[in-house]
Amino acid sequence: MNTENLHYFEKAPIAKAVAHFAVPMMLGMSMTVIYSILNAFFLGTLHNTAMLTALALTLPLFAVIMALGNLIGIGSGTFISRLLGEKKYEDVKNVSSFAVYSSLALGLIVLAVGYPLIDSIVHGLGATTDSFGFTKDYVTVMLIGSPIILLFFTLENIVRSEGSAIISMIGMILSVVVNIILDALVIFVFHWDVIGVASATVISNLVAAAYYAFHLGYKSSFLTISIKWFKITKDILSNVFKIGVPVFVMSVFMGVMSLVMNHFLVEYGDQAIAGFGISSRLLQLPEVVLMGLCEGVVPLIAYSFTANKLRMKHTIGFTIKTIAALAVVFGFIVYLISDHLIGLFTNDPQLIEKGSYILHVTFLSLFITGMTTLFTGIFQATAQGTAATIMSVIQGITLIPVLYIANRMNGFHGVIWSIVIADAVAFLVGAVMLYVLRNRLQPDLDSLVQ
């Protein structure tokens, strides 16, 4: 690890250290939100609804592939940060090499299993007769590119784990910029429609993965892509998967929760679904900002857990204050101009009114979701696999019964408020677990949850 990264891990003022790790992550994740909007925009210029439908239908598949990459990447990354705090530099090389080649192997397994089942996968995603061909094209490219996509997400996480937050951000932004350029080329120049957009995503991931691999091979002091350091041990598997599996489970539950919400909203008409869809898009930006903050500080927390637990306590305290401040700022903006924000997407007065109401309610849980993300990050960083698993599934498990009961008791309003209730339950569970584990993490940590 270079001297600058070591300084931010060990000696920089807490606010400066948190900014060093979190701001690049927040910016990089915000760029991915912008990319997802522009990706649909380029395909939308072809004025073919079936193509846009295919793009939407394949989101769960991409989410699963991304989740598998994060399974290896986040699991390995938090372990690497803890090992750096313990000065076990050879072990760091073993874990980083394991992450690189296991992600490639997992991607090849996805390809080998998925390719013969393409038609079944496309049907399972909900493709109609009109969108089946386009959806199959997209799925085919995604499966072929799955080793590259998994590698990209894995490398992004382990690069960040050694404190190279700027490098991590550059890689994410590079992927977005290359993707946008390629989207324009394949749509307007080569006229490749869905296959072109899918190929652009894979190629942009390849470019960013190559950038990260160059950093690991030539710039990083302790991370490596050399296969000679590859090793599979019980210790590596245990530490990687006890954190990585909960991350994967959480990603799957998020997709399931979205499907369940749509199922309940269908009975209240298109305006309810449209209003929820618009408010979700608007909520996405502040959510990824808070997520970037919480995920960005995970390497700092993990390093401090093994090197300086008092610094870990101060880092967590400062992050909580920052989450609160950002939630207040975002909430204030929303409550002032919610009608205008919904109006960016529609001129239907009834939809604006309904969407504004949904936006007000869902923004109430912004601080809570920020805190639950931080709780999960703390458990990941400190190798509390059971607690991380519970945090990954509790919201999904809670939402379904809450939705059913709230829908029966209060109809549409109950469905919308159920999100806040489920988030609150997850927050309380996380706070209780943090309190129970306080002595294992840090004797003074109880002051943060009282």
Q: Can you tell me the distance from the alpha carbon of 292 to that of 26, in angstroms, rounded to the nearest whole number?
A: 4
Q: Can you tell me the distance from the alpha carbon of 177 to that of 172, in angstroms, rounded to the nearest whole number?
A: 9
Q: Can you tell me the distance from the alpha carbon of 292 to that of 287, in angstroms, rounded to the nearest whole number?
A: 8
Instruction: State residue 447's pLDDT score.
Output: 42
Distance from the first to the final alpha carbon of the chain: 36
User: How many C-beta atoms surround the C-beta of residue 329 within 10 A?
Assistant: 11
Instruction: State residue 446's pLDDT score.
Output: 46
Domain borders along the chain are 1-232, 242-450
**30 near 174, Cβ under 8 Å?**
no
| Tokens linked to 167 | 């490098």
| Residue 393, Cβ density class (10 Å: 0-12 exposed, 13-18 middle, ≥19 buried) | middle
pLDDT tens over the chain, length 450 residues: 455 667 788 888 999 999 988 888 888 777 777 777 677 777 777 777 777 777 767 777 887 888 898 889 988 988 998 899 888 999 999 999 999 999 999 999 999 999 999 999 888 877 778 888 888 999 999 999 999 999 999 999 899 888 888 898 899 889 989 998 998 999 888 888 889 988 999 999 999 999 999 999 888 888 999 999 998 999 999 989 888 887 787 777 776 776 677 678 777 776 777 777 777 767 878 888 898 898 889 888 988 888 888 899 899 999 999 999 999 999 888 888 888 878 776 677 887 888 888 888 888 888 998 999 899 889 988 888 788 888 878 876 888 888 889 888 888 889 889 888 988 998 999 999 988 887 776 544 444 444
| Tokens linked to 391 | 């945090």
Instruction: Looking at 344-437, list the stretches that DSSP marks H as alpha helix, in order from N- to C-terminal side.
Output: 349-363, 366-381, 385-436
Q: Can you tell me the distance from the alpha carbon of 165 to that of 152, in angstroms, rounded to the nearest whole number?
A: 15
Q: Can you tell me the distance from the alpha carbon of 134 to that of 50, in angstroms, rounded to the nearest whole number?
A: 7
- Note the pLDDT tens digit of each residue in 289-315: 898 898 889 888 988 888 888 899 899
pTM of the entire structure?
A: 0.78
| Tokens linked to 353 | 């009114």
If DSSP codes are grouped into helix, strand and coil, which group holds residue 88? Answer: coil
User: How many C-beta atoms surround the C-beta of residue 22 within 10 A?
Assistant: 23
**What is the DSSP-derived secondary structure letter of residue 187?**
I
Task: Give the distance from CA 226 to its chain's centroid.
Answer: 28
- Note the pLDDT tens digit of each residue in 222-250: 899 999 999 899 999 998 988 888 778 77
